[in-house]
Structures are given as C-alpha cells and as structure tokens.
Structure 1
Amino acid sequence: MADKTKMSITVAAPPDRVMDVIADYDAYPEWVAAAKSVEVLSTGPRGRAKQVRFVLDAGMVKDTYVLEFDWAADGRSVTWELLSGEIQKAQSGSYSLEPTPDGSTVVTYELTVDLNIPMIGLFKRKAEKAITDTALKELKKRVEG
C-alpha cells in the first residue's frame, strides 16, 4: 500500500466525547454525507463495534464494504482494516485523539485506500486527502454542534 494520507483538526470537546461520536456508527448517516447506511455486524469485549458494514455513495464513488476495528484500551485511538469491499481491495486507517490544555482535542486521521480499479497515484492521493478533510470537518461539526 502507498503512504498514508494524514490530517489533523482541533475539536472543542474532550477526547471521550469525540470518541463517542466516532464510535456511534448507527448515527453516521445523520452526519456523514456519503454514508447511506451503516450497520454494526459484531462488537468487541468493551462493547465497541468490531465489524461494521458501510454503504457509501459519494457521487461518482459508490461502494459497500466491511471494516474491522481495533480500539485502544485508553480510549484515545482506533484503527481499522478492510475485510471486504466492492471497489476497494485494501483500506487501513486510524483516528488518534490528543487532549489539549484548554479541554479541546486534536484529532488526527490517517487513511490509505487501494482500489480494484486502476487509478493514477496522484488522483488516488487527491481523493484520499478529500475524504480525510471531509471526514474531519464533518466530525468537528457533529461534536461541536
């Protein structure tokens, strides 16, 4: 897989509030524009989602895929890997949360996607950056809103 796309944003809320929004997959269709449906398929030992099916419709890009999540014990990060997808052959990503002295949280999102269809590297990286930027902005709006 190629290098990860990595971006950060500051959210005016403590890390536990941010992680609660990230972990509430049932609510994603309410605030993630491209998420048409999201279904938790299994949960892990602490009640967080382990496997989740996403139906995504981002205009020209439509996909149904399943991700498997690994939640850090400290509640400050989550990582995921693609289990299956229609147009994706691989996806890995993470959210990492870092509290700030003023009570806000710096959220760092990393994402790498590999598609089953050929795509020029420059366009792939541009798409990853757009996805990452949108995800962070939508998360900030949801948490702060």
Structure 2
Amino acid sequence: MADRTSASMTIGASAPEIMAVIADFPAYPGWAEGITAAEVLSTGDDGRAEKVRITLEAGPIKDTYVLAYDWDGDDAVHWDLAEAGAMLTGMTGAYRLAPVDGSTEVTYELAVDVRIPMIGMVRRKAEKRIIETALKGLKQRVEA
C-alpha cells in the first residue's frame, strides 16, 4: 500500500458525538458524497460495525467493496479493504480524534489502490479530494 494522504479539520463537537456519526453507516448516503449505500455486514461486541459493504458512485467510478473496521473507543477508527471491488484493489484509512479547546480535531488518513494504472501524484490528489469532501460532509452532519 502506498503512503497515506491525510488532512485535519476542527469540528465543534465532542469525540463521542463525532464518532457516533462516523459509526452510523446506514446514514452515509445522506452526507458522505458518492456513497449511495452502506450495509453493515457484521458488528463487534461493542455494537459497532466490523464489516461494511460500501457502494460508491463518484463520477465515472462505480464500485462496491467491503471494508473491515477496528475501533479504538472514541479516539480512532481504522479500516482496511476486506473484499476488493471491480475498481478498488486496496484501501487503508483512519479517522483520529483529539480534543482541542472544547472542539475536536479530526484527522482523516487514506491510501487507495485501483486496478487502473495511476501516477502517484494523481492518486494522492484524488485521495486529498476524497478526504476533504469527507471531512466537510462530516463537519456539516455533526454540527447540524
């Protein structure tokens, strides 16, 4: 897997409030741009998703894949690709949350591999766009 791309944003809410939105996968089509469906396939003892089938329609890219999640309370969640899609062959990512003056700094890390050849610089630019869009959507959803 390639180097991860990351970005951070401060959200005016507590880590548990933010993590509750991140963990609510069925609601993703309402705020996560490009995600048209998110089906929880299995959950852990804490009730949070362990595996989720994601359907993505982002411009010309349409794919369905399964991600496996590992939760660190309300501090972080990490994921890896459990089942590849037609386009997506690899993915690792994380949300890391840290309290900052009554708000929370959310850092999103992402590395994606696709079947089509892609120059590293182009891939990182695409990852950056995905991250920035996701953080903005998360902020709007949490602060609404």
Give the TM-score category using the shorter length.
over 0.9
Q: CA deviation at 1:33?
A: 2.1
Letter of the structure 2 residue corresponding to residue 18 of structure 1: I
1:121-141 CA-partner distances (Å, limit 9, x unpaired): 111111000001100010000
Q: How far apart are residue 14 of structure 1 and its match?
A: 0.6
Residue 67 of structure 2 aligns with which residue? 67
Q: CA deviation at 1:116?
A: 1.3
TM-superposed deviation, 1:75: 1.8
- In the other structure, the counterpart of 2:112 is 113
Inter-partner Cα distance in structure 2 for 1:130 and 1:75 = 25
1:1-145 paired onto structure 2 within 5 Å: 1-72=1-72, 74-84=73-83, 85-101=85-101, 103-145=102-144
Which segments of 5 or more consecutive residues in structure 2 lack a partner in the other structure?
Answer: none
For 1:123, the aligned partner's letter is: V
Any runs of at least 4 consecutive aligned residues in structure 1 with deviations exceeding 4 A, and if so which? none
RMSD value over aligned CA atoms? 0.8
Paired letter, 1:27: A
| CA distance in 2 between partners of 1:120 and 1:110 (Å) | 19
Q: Matched residue of 2:2: which SS?
A: coil
After TM superposition, give the deviation of residue 144 of structure 1 in Å: 0.5
Counterparts of 1:142 and 1:75, CA distance in 2? 17
Q: CA deviation at 1:40?
A: 0.2
What amino acid maps onto 2:131 in structure 1? T
Partner-residue secondary structure (3-state), 2:46 = coil
How far the C-alpha of 1:86 sits from its partner, in A, is: 1.9
Residue identity matched to 2:44: G
**Residues of 1 paired with 2:141 and 2:74: CA distance?**
19
